[in-house]
Structure formats: structure tokens, C-alpha cells
Structure 1
Amino acid sequence: MAPCSESQLRSASSSIRASASNSQLFVSYLFSSPSPNRILGISENTNALFLHPRSCMTTIEIKGALWRTYSDLSRNHTLQMAAALSYYFVLSLFPSLIFLSAVVAYLPVPDLFNQSLLLMSHFLPADAMGLVRRVLADVITPNRGAFLSLGILGTLWTASGGFAATIEALNIAYEVHDDRPFWKTRPLAIGLALVTGLLLLTALSVMVVGPRFGEWLAARVHLSALFVLLWPYIHWTIAIGFTVLAVEALYYLAPNVKQRFLATLPGAILAVGCWIGLSYLLGLYFRHFANFNKTYGTLGAAVALMTWLYWTAFAMLVGAELNSELAKITKKGKLQEKQQASSITRIDLAA
């Protein structure tokens, strides 16, 4: 066999180096991802919880997001923000209820407003609910027919003040700067007041009308007794679903970030769950352990109402903090996808 020439040796050496470089790039790409299955877009973790643009969020990522959410409660001064929001909520609560009562008066459901107040009493402290009833009775009863006039515009403007403060609080939770001008954020706050108000009104209507509607539907369509037995759970689930949808709309529209509507669902579920749980615990506390009337006198009802609004704001901000952390994971995943795609392109070009 004839010996190789010097040029052939150089050519063979270059080919070996190029092959080694390609192999190194591929191995680097392969192990830069937590799992080789990511190359095929397959998640090997069967405990994946939320759909994610790159594949699925793993259990480890979800646990990390929950832990960082807990840490952010202190870092972002969430308790202080909830206290500030409760003040704005007090100023906006009664105008919001007045506006909704004016709308309810024109719905074809008998005594819907009073039944809605009765339903709200399951969530509000008894003293606070008494205050709400007295104020609404004084304001609405003499002027019910005049509310859907020019005066309702002023009521809606006042009600939107709480949503304007919510926009600022959610921007802090999402850790973004809001550079939108006032002439954009204030109409947005009014729109949020309308959208969330109508969704919550729908939820209240479902809870109020639900029992009778289930009986009517079962008799009309000749449904089984099992449907009648399960209907109370079904209509409560529907009502909670509309409440979650209202919080989702708030998370999607209020902060100055671009996100998918479905991406706000985890935080909305957490917020509504926390709100229901905290409202129940507060109700137990006020009924059995606290008597604000003895401590604060005539201000007891107002203090009880502000306490409930404070924890309502806290629950909403906790959900926003969770969505913020999940959004960071999404952003990091997209960046990894771009880096991996760039590595594949380099391999193709080198080949």
C-alpha cells in the first residue's frame, strides 16, 4: 500500500476535526436540556401540570414557582399593597353595588337584588353585611329609577377608582413598569369595572336562580333523579367558574404585560380558592371570637368590612404573584428553545 501524501493527511485531519466539532455541538445541545426527550418535544415527566409553549411545566418547576411566590409576598410588600387596595375598595364598593343594583332592576328575575345580598351574606361578616344593606337601602330605594341616567356615569367613574389602583398593584406583582398614559389606563379601569362586574353578576345570578332552574330543567327534559341530586354541585361549579373568569380578565387586561389568556388561569384559581377559604375563616372568627362593636363602637361594621376587603385584595395579589412566576418560567423556556434552535442551525451549517 502506497504511503499517504502530506495533502491527504491534512485533508483527513480537517475532516476529523470538523466531525469532532459537530459531535461536540450536538452533545452540548443534547445535554443543555433537562431531558433528551425535549429534542422530540416529549415530556418524560408524567406529573406535568400546566400546558406550556415549549412542552409542559414539570412538577419541580411548579414547586419552584410556588416557593418563589411565597418569597415574593415579602419582597413585593404584598400585605402593604393589600392594605392600600382595601382603602380604594371601600371607596369603590358602594358605587359598584349601586351600579349593579341599577342593572339588576332591569333583569327578568324577581327579587334578584335582595337574593344576591342574601347570598353575599355568606361571604361578608355579619356586621359588614348590615352596613352594606343600610347604605344601599338609603341610596337606592328613593332613587332606583334615576340611576340609569347621567348620574350612573359618575357612579361608574367612582367605582373604577378601585380598579385603577388594582392596575398599579398588579404591575408591581408582575414586576413591570407601566408607561401607559392616564387616558389609556382610566378607560381601561372603567372597562374592567364593567367586565368583571357583569361576570360577577352572572355568577350571582347562577347561584340565585340555579336551584329553581335545575328543578325546571329536570321536569322539562325528564332528567333522572341523579341529575337533581348533582345539580347543586353543578350550579355552584358554574358560578365559581364565572368568578374565576372575572379574575382571569383582571389578570389578563390590567398589568402592562403580554400574555396568553389561558396563562392567567392558575393564578385565578388560586386567588378564588384563597378568597373563599379566607372569607369562610373570617366568618368563623367574627361570629365566635371577635366583637368589633365592643372595641370600635359604631365603627365596628366599617372595620369588619375593611378587614374582609383587605384579605380579598391579598388573595387577588397572591394569584398575580403566582402568574408572574409562571410567566418567568415561560419566558425562560422560550429563550432555551431559541438557543437550542440556534445550536441545531450551527450543526447543520457546519455539516
Structure 2
Amino acid sequence: MIKKNYKILKLKLYLNKIPLPGFEGISFLNLFQFLKEVFVKGNFAIRSAAVSFHFFVGIFPTLIFLLSLVPFLPVSGFQEYIINFSENLLPEVLHEKLENTINELFFKRYKGLLSIGFILSLYYASLGINTLFTAFSQSYQIKLKNNYLKQQLLSLFVFMCILILFILATLISHLNEEIFNFLFSSESNLFFQLVNFLIQIVLVMLGISLLFHFGNPKSGKFKLINAGTIFSTFVIIIASAGLSFYFKHFNVYNKIYGSIGSLLISLVWLNIVSYVLMIGFELYAKIDEIKNKFIKS
């Protein structure tokens, strides 16, 4: 028994000495203890369910809003770039459904969108972010809350920032492809895909950092690289890859539910993303709180 306790203590001391890259001095042991604490106090199941539902509701308004901007972008075939760019971000099953939806929406040519309908699309598209901010405000670490109007405006602002990031990422991806096709042979395709993937990771991290920064009323200086963002980004990537593998090889939803199965898969994925974002935010808020206390002292 004593020998077993000694081994556990030795393992804890070892894990406590290993700092995680980009986690601002947090060790493996610190991260494990933190995750254990937030799972007990976080009440993530209910909060992530609400957020994922509103994200789901906002998918089609977002697509309509985005595609209504296509005529103003100096790029032809933009919907194809959106489809190609989203291929690395979404599970394969969802990407296939998204491709069909984008093509359908694009070729319908919603001409009257720059009107009240356009404004409503913008509102509903930002609804998911607004709900996410509400979920962030329910964190046991957050004492200061934003008022209703300020949160609505912040939600719209962050939504527009993320939309601009998405458009930039799509255009950069297309530009990279053109450059690589011009300068290199087809043998460099793997390198091109790697560069594109790294650009996508950086832009996803920037989007998550914006969510965390504006979701915490007591946030200090904006930081792209922080523990919460790194944790959320890589867990979402791993979870998306795992979910894609599962539904590709063990999928029973479409067999049982038919086309409705795709909706269930979408909700499962959005729920996982919401869950991870809230855990990442707790980590971000915790470190921010410790830093603020240190500065005041």
C-alpha cells in the first residue's frame, strides 16, 4: 500500500514538472486537477445543449447571410472555396450535407436579402454567439455580467469578425492554391495542404480567442495564444476527426433515421464543440483571474 502511494506521489510530482507548451506555465497535473474541478462545478450538459441548439438554428441564416455577400466579393466561384475550406474543419458526413445546402442556397439567388430579411438573417446568425456568451456568464468564476444591450452588440460584432475571418481564410486558401499551382509541381500538393491546414488552425484560434476575450467582461489585454484557446482548438480538431471516423465506419443514424440522421449528427457535433468551448473558456477565465489578482497584489 505504501509502495503504491509512493508511486502515485512520484507520478504526480513528475506530471507537475512538465509544463504544457503555450499553457502559460500550467503543467499536466494542474490541467487534470482543473478539468476535474470544472466538470464538478461547470454544469456543462445543460449549457452546451442550449448553445448547440442556437448554433444549429443559426446555421442557415449564417449561410444565407454569407452567400448574399458573394456578389460583392471580387472572386468568382466563392461558394466552391467555402466548400473546399470547410472540408478540413467539419466531419466528413457534415461536410457532404453542407456542400449540398450551399449549392442549393447559392443557385436559388436570394435577391431580396439586402433588406429586412437580411437584417433578420444577421440577427439569427449571431444568436448562437449570444447564447454562448450567456453560457460563459453562468461560469462560477465570472462575477461581473454584461447588460442585455451590450451583449447583443458584442454578439453582432464578434459574429461579423468571425465571418470576416472565415472569408479571409477562404480567400487565402484559394490564393495559396493558385500560387502553389503556378510555382510548384503537383508533387508539392501535400506541402500545400499542410500550409493550408496551419493557416486554418491559426484563424480558428483567432476566432476562439475573440469569443473568449469578449465573452469575459473582465478580460484584460487580448491574446491570441492562451491556454483556453489552445486547449479548445486541438480538442475540437481531435473530436471532429474522431466523430468523422465513427460516423464513417460505425454510422447507424442514417440507416435508422434516414435523412434526419444528418440533423442528429450536426447536433452531436455542435454539442461537442459547445462543450469544449465552455471548458476552454473556464481555463481562460481562471488564468485571467489569477493574473488580475497577481497584478492587484
Question: Retained in 1: the 8 A contact 2:216–2:285?
Answer: no
Superposed counterparts of 1:1-351, under 5 Å: 58-59=25-26, 63-173=29-139, 175-177=141-143, 179-216=145-182, 218=183, 230-262=191-223, 265-335=226-296, 338=297
How much has 1:229 moved relative to structure 2? 7.5
Question: Retained in 2: the 8 A contact 1:267–1:319?
Answer: yes
How much has 1:90 moved relative to structure 2? 0.6
Higher alpha-carbon deviation: 158-167 or 138-147: 138-147
TM (norm. structure 2) is: 0.81
TM (norm. structure 1) is: 0.70
How much has 1:253 moved relative to structure 2? 1.1
Amino acid at match of 2:241: Y
How much has 1:98 moved relative to structure 2? 1.5
RMSD: 3.1
Q: Provide the C-alpha distance between the structure 2 equivalents of 1:238 and 1:196, rounded to a whole number of angstroms.
A: 15
How much has 1:247 moved relative to structure 2? 1.0
The secondary structure found in structure 2 opposite 1:195 is: helix
How much has 1:166 moved relative to structure 2? 0.8
Q: Provide the C-alpha distance between the structure 2 equivalents of 1:161 and 1:323, rounded to a whole number of angstroms.
A: 23
The secondary structure found in structure 2 opposite 1:109 is: coil
Q: CA distance change for structure 1 residues 257 and 301 in 2, over 3 Å: closer, same or farther?
A: same
Gaps of 5+ in 1: 1-44, 52-56, 220-225, 339-351
Question: Retained in 1: the 8 A contact 2:94–2:265?
Answer: yes
The secondary structure found in structure 1 opposite 2:258 is: helix
The secondary structure found in structure 2 opposite 1:145 is: coil
Amino acid at match of 1:240: I
Q: Provide the C-alpha distance between the structure 1 equivalents of 2:224 and 2:81, rounded to a whole number of angstroms.
A: 34
How much has 1:282 moved relative to structure 2? 0.5
Q: Provide the C-alpha distance between the structure 1 equivalents of 2:147 and 2:285, rounded to a whole number of angstroms.
A: 23
How much has 1:192 moved relative to structure 2? 1.3
Q: Provide the C-alpha distance between the structure 2 equivalents of 1:238 and 1:126, rounded to a whole number of angstroms.
A: 20
Question: Retained in 1: the 8 A contact 2:162–2:207?
Answer: yes
Q: Provide the C-alpha distance between the structure 2 equivalents of 1:135 and 1:228, rounded to a whole number of angstroms.
A: 28
Amino acid at match of 1:112: F
Q: Provide the C-alpha distance between the structure 2 equivalents of 1:265 and 1:98, rounded to a whole number of angstroms.
A: 33
Question: Retained in 2: the 8 A contact 1:85–1:165?
Answer: yes
Gaps of 5+ in 2: 1-16
How much has 1:58 moved relative to structure 2? 4.0
Q: CA distance change for structure 1 residues 65 and 286 in 2, over 3 Å: closer, same or farther?
A: closer
Q: Provide the C-alpha distance between the structure 2 equivalents of 1:312 and 1:275, rounded to a whole number of angstroms.
A: 6
How much has 1:49 moved relative to structure 2? 5.8
Percent identity between the two aligned chains: 20
How many equivalent pairs are there? 281
What is residue 10 of structure 2 aligned with on the other side? none
Amino acid at match of 1:154: L
The secondary structure found in structure 1 opposite 2:227 is: helix
Q: In the TM superposition, what whole-angstrom CA distance separates every residue of 1:67-102 from its partner, at most 9, and x where no partner exists?
A: 213420331112332222111111111111221222
Q: Provide the C-alpha distance between the structure 1 equivalents of 2:21 and 2:94, rounded to a whole number of angstroms.
A: 39
How much has 1:280 moved relative to structure 2? 0.6
